[in-house]
Amino acid sequence: MIKLNFAGIRSREEMYRYLQGKLNLPESRGENLDNIYAMLSEASGRIHIIVEGLDKSRKRLGSNLDGVLKTLRDAEAVTENLTIEVREQIDAGKEWMDNPGVVEQSCAYSRPVLVETNEKPVPHNSQEGLMYRAEGRPYVRLRYPNAMNVQLQIGDMMYPFLETEKDVWTVTLPLEPGFYYTNLYVDNCLVLNPFLPIGYGFSRPVNYIEIGPVPDFFQMKDVPHGDIRHEYYNSSVTGRTETCIVYVPPGYEENRGSYPVLYLQHGFGENERGWVWQGKVNHIMDNLLAQGKAVPMLIVMANGMVMDETAEGETILRHNLFPEELVEDIIPFIEKKYRVKADRDFRAMAGLSMGSMQTSMTVCRYGELFGWEGLFSGFMHDCMGENQDNSFLEIMKDENFQKGLHLFFRAMGRQDEFWDRFAEDDTFCEENKIPCIRKEYEGGHDWNVWRQCIRDFLPLLFQDKEPLA
């Protein structure tokens, strides 16, 4: 292991002398980046170089330092046994790293930090999780003292970790900023790790990562914050007590007026907590409200993965029971407990993926209840299950029904695997002259697109209607 600490170095010349000594270069090869590259990429045996003190020397060394760093990385890329580990304090430009909009997960507000009861400071090198190299490249660092093999699966790609220090495994992720569900394999076993955030997807708790830089619109800002409520209601549809999450905008407790409501649904395998902890809808709404870009409203999120039992006692998903549960159980519960406007002009529904199908079903079947509709990565047609009955869509052909909808918002990521279905809905809308606001986003079938959908959808809701009264 070679440790390069640039903290005290004051000039280009001093830096090269330092590198020459540390890397054990012959004098003639010490003053040229090409020579450093050649030496490292030709070396035999495992070499692990730790780079420190970049923050404190960058001001003085500037592009010279960046040149050295790039050379080390270039050599690492072509040399199997070479590992470059850059350790650096978070610089001012990465404030978003600790923003609660980025860090908060359902079980914790802050990033987990292992501390001892004796109140000793936590050494920097004990930290685990997603980190960033000096140049901004994201990497994951996890401790597995007894592992033989650690891999991170993201989408279809498998990224192998290297044991870059004793017991410590790291992997650099060549990924664009954004939200990614991840599957971690330790010795080929799928596991969760406590130092990557834990959300809910694929019908179970699941690790994800949030790679920065993170856009402003879902970071927590110094603005008034709504609160997030766990409510419990009795469902006549499932026969159980169920839960929903309610975003209550800032000012609700102090004011006396009645509020409009958006019912907002997650996708297949997720749950009622997804829009807050993964979608960051509370921060998105807080920020829009602070900018005067949206009308204060409640946002109610329930569990669309309605489970039922077959005659044989087996568990089965009935996603198309949700419209009934919403109308029979959830809306009456909300309208009894909260000061809301019980009127279709002030009641909206939106959902992503499976939630968009449920939204389409609900708004078509209960048009008298909803005046605003949003389908994110969204399907007008129900395409889940085996016996799809899409007769509910007939009413969309009715011109009066169309006119009654104040907003019909459809959106899809351009790289979404279900693009063809969106195109089929396009055709359906054209053939039946169904007006809509139609958006395309760069991206796939994921939370990066859905966050943009809700950011663009919320400002369109309940505008030009009576103000709160």
Task: Tell me the Ramachandran region of residue 155: left when phi exceeds 0, alpha when psi lies from -120 to 50, beta otherwise.
Answer: left
Which residue in the set 44, 109, 174, 420 belongs to the binding site for its own copies (CB under 8 A)?
Answer: 109
- The verdict on 317 binding its own copies (CB under 8 A) reads yes
- The verdict on 7 binding its own copies (CB under 8 A) reads no
Query: How far is the C-alpha of 27 from the C-alpha of 438, rounded, in Å?
Result: 65
Q: Which residue has the tokens 């192998």?
A: 160
Positive or negative, the CA dihedral 372, 452, 414, 355 is negative
Query: How far is the C-alpha of 14 from the C-alpha of 76, rounded, in Å?
Result: 24
- The verdict on 431 binding its own copies (CB under 8 A) reads no
Tell the smallest beta-carbon distance from residue 368 to its own copies (Å). Answer: 27
DSSP letters for 279-309 = T-HHHHHHHHHHTT-S---EEEEE----EEE
Tell the smallest beta-carbon distance from residue 420 to its own copies (Å). Answer: 16
- The verdict on 144 binding its own copies (CB under 8 A) reads yes
- The verdict on 49 binding its own copies (CB under 8 A) reads no
Which residues, 6+ apart, have CB-to-CB distance to 164 below 8 Å?
Answer: 48, 83, 85, 170
Tell the smallest beta-carbon distance from residue 403 to its own copies (Å). Answer: 35
DSSP state of 320: G
Q: Which of residues 65-104 bind its own copies (CB under 8 A)?
A: 89, 100, 104
Residue whose CB is less far from its own copies, 234 or 236: 234
- Does an H or E element contain 16, and which? helix 12-22
- The verdict on 225 binding its own copies (CB under 8 A) reads yes
Tell the smallest beta-carbon distance from residue 183 to its own copies (Å). Answer: 11
- The verdict on 239 binding its own copies (CB under 8 A) reads no
* Closest of 326, 336, 335, 334 to residue 360, by C-alpha: 326
The answer to whether the CB of 249 falls within 8 A of the CB of 227 is: no
Residue whose CB is less far from its own copies, 36 or 305: 305
Query: How far is the C-alpha of 355 from the C-alpha of 347, rounded, in Å?
Result: 16
Task: Give buried/exposed letters for 291-313 (b at 16+ CB in 10 A, else e).
Answer: eeebbbbbbbbbbbbbeeeeeee
Residue whose CB is less far from its own copies, 62 or 224: 224
Which residue in the set 235, 271, 287, 448 belongs to the binding site for its own copies (CB under 8 A)?
Answer: 271
Tell the smallest beta-carbon distance from residue 369 to its own copies (Å). Answer: 23
Residue whose CB is less far from its own copies, 28 or 315: 315
Candidates 14-22, 78-86, 307-315, 398-406; binding stretch for its own copies (CB under 8 A) = 307-315
Q: Which of residues 248-267 bind its own copies (CB under 8 A)?
A: 253
Tell the smallest beta-carbon distance from residue 461 to its own copies (Å). Answer: 23
Candidates 76-84, 196-204, 389-397, 438-446; binding stretch for its own copies (CB under 8 A) = 196-204
Residue whose CB is less far from its own copies, 195 or 366: 195
Residue whose CB is less far from its own copies, 49 or 206: 206
Number of residues located near its own copies, criterion CB under 8 A: 80
- The verdict on 229 binding its own copies (CB under 8 A) reads yes
Residue whose CB is less far from its own copies, 175 or 321: 321
- The verdict on 342 binding its own copies (CB under 8 A) reads no
- The verdict on 113 binding its own copies (CB under 8 A) reads yes
Neighbours of 405 (CB within 10 A): 19
Query: How far is the C-alpha of 218 from the C-alpha of 170, rounded, in Å?
Result: 28
- The verdict on 232 binding its own copies (CB under 8 A) reads yes
- The verdict on 310 binding its own copies (CB under 8 A) reads yes
Query: How far is the C-alpha of 331 from the C-alpha of 347, rounded, in Å?
Result: 10
The answer to whether the CB of 228 falls within 8 A of the CB of 246 is: yes
Tell the smallest beta-carbon distance from residue 227 to its own copies (Å). Answer: 5
Residue whose CB is less far from its own copies, 85 or 104: 104
Query: How far is the C-alpha of 43 from the C-alpha of 78, rounded, in Å?
Result: 12
Residue whose CB is less far from its own copies, 74 or 335: 335
- The verdict on 110 binding its own copies (CB under 8 A) reads yes
Residue whose CB is less far from its own copies, 204 or 403: 204
Query: How far is the C-alpha of 444 from the C-alpha of 447, rounded, in Å?
Result: 9
Instruction: Give phi and psi for 249, each to the nearest 5.
Output: -70, 155
Residue whose CB is less far from its own copies, 20 or 170: 170
- The verdict on 26 binding its own copies (CB under 8 A) reads no
Instruction: Give phi and psi for 431, each to the nearest 5.
Output: -60, -35
Tell the smallest beta-carbon distance from residue 188 to its own copies (Å). Answer: 4
- Type of residue numbered 331: I
Q: Which residue has the tokens 């080390």?
A: 72
